[in-house]
Structure 1
Amino acid sequence: MTATNSCHRFATYIDRFYQGQSFLPDNPTNVKEVVGILDSYGYVLDAYQKNLQYIADREFLNLFPFFKYFDGNVSFDRLLKHWWHDRINFEYAEYCMKVMLWHGGGRLEAYIESPEFSDSIELAIQAKIKNKPIIKLLHRLFPEFLPEQVRQSVYYNALGQFWAVMAPIFLTLGKAYEAGKVTTIPDVVNWVKAGLVAAAGNPINYAVEIDGRSYDILPPSANLTFLMDVAVPYVEAIFFRGTPFLGVVSYNAQAHQIPVEQNSFTYGALYADPLPIGGAGIPPTLLMQDMRHYIPPYLHEIYQHTKRKEDDLLVKICQSFQKSMYCVTSATILGLAPYPLDSTDRQQQATNMAYFEGWMDRLLTSQLPNIQG
């Protein structure tokens, strides 16, 4: 069963899934672009995840973490590079963490808002502030302030754990392409899907050490796992919803340029216009600047054969990155399908079709038509 008889506007894309394809057309240029950009993304994500987990572990309840981007290695030389911006822009990783925290969703959000979580983290809070009378007073006067800082640490850690899985998936993809093992867009999608499925049940646990004692923040008893409790909320928050970028839309409530409801946001990676990349207040600019350091030669060659060559490099990187995110989204959608696509059971076929059409409804206003070259 395919979508051929469906009246859905994007029925063609649903048919692609049943034919073993993806959102992105399969051609050699798209393969080079997607693999090359994901390879560079893998290097950046590896740096991001290490810093996020460092902050979660070592800067726990540090209200003034001046050196949080240094991973514990502070030197005058690194300070100069930091001030000169000769460094990885960890601010973008924090932006993604805050977007996830704000949008929430899934069992992770439900757990950190539960009484069980509040009771367990109080032990860690008390241990951390026991010799800090001013912070003790702050905690007494504003009892929700420090717990909210702990919730933020949870998302630092959870996003770090997520990217710690994704980075090697993308880096090994690049090596597989160079070895001739990955040659098509479906190969890319299947590679990412296999990595997601393999890590699906990985537990998401988080503990901090204070004065030689370990305190569970996300204990094993919470039964949180990689795919459903971190990966899916990440896709929802970063790929779909996102946040409106300063300078692009008005935050004035009377202008009505931003939806009232969070679940109506369409500012994520799948919707974003690549052209504003490089402008002030556009967080993905930081990511594009980071990835440009790791662009492989075969992707540089593609950019050199365009009209502007690399004069608009960040925009080109963003366009390639957006294509790659549609491949990752394809892998996620296929990996979460309710039933096998080759099922002969009519009820299962109908359930799969409704599932795919639900995703397509969300992409009606996305950049999907613009990546079909």
Structure 2
Amino acid sequence: MVNTIEKPSGHPLADYVHRLETGGILLDESSENLIEVVGILKSYGVVLDAYSNNLIYIANQQFLVLFPFLKYFNGEFSLGKLWQHWNHDRINYEYAEYCMKSMLWHGSGGLDAYLDTDDFKQNAEKAILAKLKFNPIMLALHRLFPGFLPEMVRQMSYYSGLGQFWRVMSDMFLDLSDRYDRGEIKTVLNTVEHIQAALVANAAKPITYAVEIGGQTYDILPASAELTFLMDTGVPYVEAIFFRGTPFPGTISYNAQVQQIPDQQGAFCYGALYADPLPIGGSGIPPTLLMQDMRHYLPDYLHQLYQNTLRGEDDLRVKICETFQKSMFCVTSAAIRGLMPHPIDSGDPEHLAANRKYLEGWMDRFLTSRIYNVNQ
């Protein structure tokens, strides 16, 4: 039996604190939620596979290419693919770059910290000089503006880091779908447990990055930096994409006098757990690209669920976004459970008190989120 503190939490989201203390999750348990979460994560897994491959391709093959016009072709350019690209009959890799740049801008975590070290600067400089060895004009510009190319290398590091993170997440979600098809996943809690187990299993997976120039390999993120999947890419990703995000043009004023946007990045609340799905499809709403990508890979059972609703497919992208938001609360549940300071079945009152404090800290951040909306 799971132990819990006898005194109820006084937090406004106390119900969710108590859920997590007793082994529960943030999303309500229902058969419809199970179909939605597993189905959308199946689609998301397919899209993440494409995003991951492209980010890693750019990091490895477009290193310090100032005008990478063909970066979305993964080295497989043809006139037919160019025509598809111009007609938007393709994966919207721009959204992957949007997420990468959000992580770069918000920072935090071991990856961001390492990119400020002398070790990284030395590695970057070696790679830059090797790349520009036969380009005297660019070498001169590098000496004139010594901060420009190192910043590009920083960005390439995030391309690679996010690509490696999404590689793990894609496999995790596709494996979840396979298990559901085999009848092994029967509840939303099973879904969260699957994600939690995969996060824990891959937590220490190393994040490294090296480029090959002139037949020689140059380390950018060496193994000696000891960067890992969970703490150095996973947690910063959750912070930047799930919580902080960026304000969407057209939904909020960028006028500094209006003061609708906080002056501190840490106060941003525009991420996946907060965003209103209704504007999806509108101009300037980056997640529209993701919803458009996922709609191509919806499993039949989820597509049928959407078709049986009042509007059918008329608001399909909004429905996908609502479902995606539910799934992200499941992923967040897995992260919260996995990072819990002490086991929830601990009999030590101090351990339980520490868990309570930890969970209430998370709930502070959910106060303005859509946690109530996804559970209506």
Q: Same fold (TM over 0.5)?
A: yes
Match for residue 331 of structure 2?
Answer: 328
Match for residue 127 of structure 2?
Answer: 124
Q: CA deviation at 1:2?
A: 4.4
- CA 1:363/1:174 → structure 2, altered by over 3 Å: closer, same or farther? same
Q: CA deviation at 1:4?
A: 5.7
Match for residue 215 of structure 1?
Answer: 218
Whether the 8 Å CA contact 1:112–1:118 is kept in 2: the answer is yes
Map 1:160-171 → 2, pairs under 5 A: 160-171=163-174
Distance of 2:242 and 2:284 partners within structure 1: 18
Map 1:45-124 → 2, pairs under 5 A: 45-124=48-127
Q: CA deviation at 1:3?
A: 7.7
Whether the 8 Å CA contact 1:2–1:15 is kept in 2: the answer is no
Unaligned stretches of 5+ residues in structure 2? none
Q: Is 1:144 matched with 2:144?
A: no
State the SS of the aligned residue for 1:255.
coil
Which deviates the most, 346-355 or 257-266? 346-355
- CA 1:300/1:2 → structure 2, altered by over 3 Å: closer, same or farther? farther
Amino acid aligned to 2:149: L
Distance of 1:363 and 1:257 partners within structure 2: 19
Distance of 1:22 and 1:305 partners within structure 2: 27
Distance of 2:64 and 2:7 partners within structure 1: 55
Match for residue 175 of structure 2?
Answer: 172
State the SS of the aligned residue for 1:253.
coil
Amino acid aligned to 2:209: Y
Distance of 2:47 and 2:168 partners within structure 1: 13
Q: Is 1:292 matched with 2:314?
A: no
Match for residue 268 of structure 2?
Answer: 265
Match for residue 256 of structure 1?
Answer: 259
Offset from partner CA, 1:55-75 (integer Å, 9 cap, x none): 000000001100000000000
Q: Is 1:278 matched with 2:281?
A: yes
Match for 1:364 among 350, 364, 367? 367
Distance of 1:4 and 1:44 partners within structure 2: 45
Match for 1:7 among 5, 10, 15? 10
Distance of 2:202 and 2:283 partners within structure 1: 37
Q: CA deviation at 1:294?
A: 0.4
Distance of 1:348 and 1:238 partners within structure 2: 30
Q: Is 1:345 matched with 2:348?
A: yes
Distance of 1:122 and 1:2 partners within structure 2: 54
Q: CA deviation at 1:228?
A: 0.4
Identity among equivalent positions (%) equals 61
Distance of 2:259 and 2:348 partners within structure 1: 46
Distance of 2:36 and 2:22 partners within structure 1: 22
Amino acid aligned to 1:358: G
Match for residue 309 of structure 1?
Answer: 312
State the SS of the aligned residue for 2:11.
coil
RMSD: 0.8
Offset from partner CA, 1:232-252 (integer Å, 9 cap, x none): 000000000000011111111
Map 1:193-212 → 2, pairs under 5 A: 193-212=196-215
Q: Give every structure 1 segment of 4 or more consecutive aligned residues whose post-TM-superposition deviation is greater than 3 Å.
A: none
Offset from partner CA, 1:333-364 (integer Å, 9 cap, x none): 00011111111111111111100000000010
Q: CA deviation at 1:138?
A: 1.4
State the SS of the aligned residue for 1:37.
helix
Amino acid aligned to 1:248: T
Match for residue 38 of structure 2?
Answer: 35
In the alignment of these two chains, the number of paired residues is 373
Distance of 1:231 and 1:2 partners within structure 2: 30
Whether the 8 Å CA contact 2:37–2:324 is kept in 1: the answer is yes
Distance of 1:30 and 1:103 partners within structure 2: 32
Q: Is 1:236 matched with 2:239?
A: yes
Whether the 8 Å CA contact 2:41–2:177 is kept in 1: the answer is yes
Give the TM-score taking structure 1 as reference length. 0.99
Q: CA deviation at 1:21?
A: 2.0
Match for residue 20 of structure 1?
Answer: 23
Amino acid aligned to 2:54: N
Unaligned stretches of 5+ residues in structure 1? none
Distance of 2:22 and 2:14 partners within structure 1: 13
Match for residue 185 of structure 2?
Answer: 182
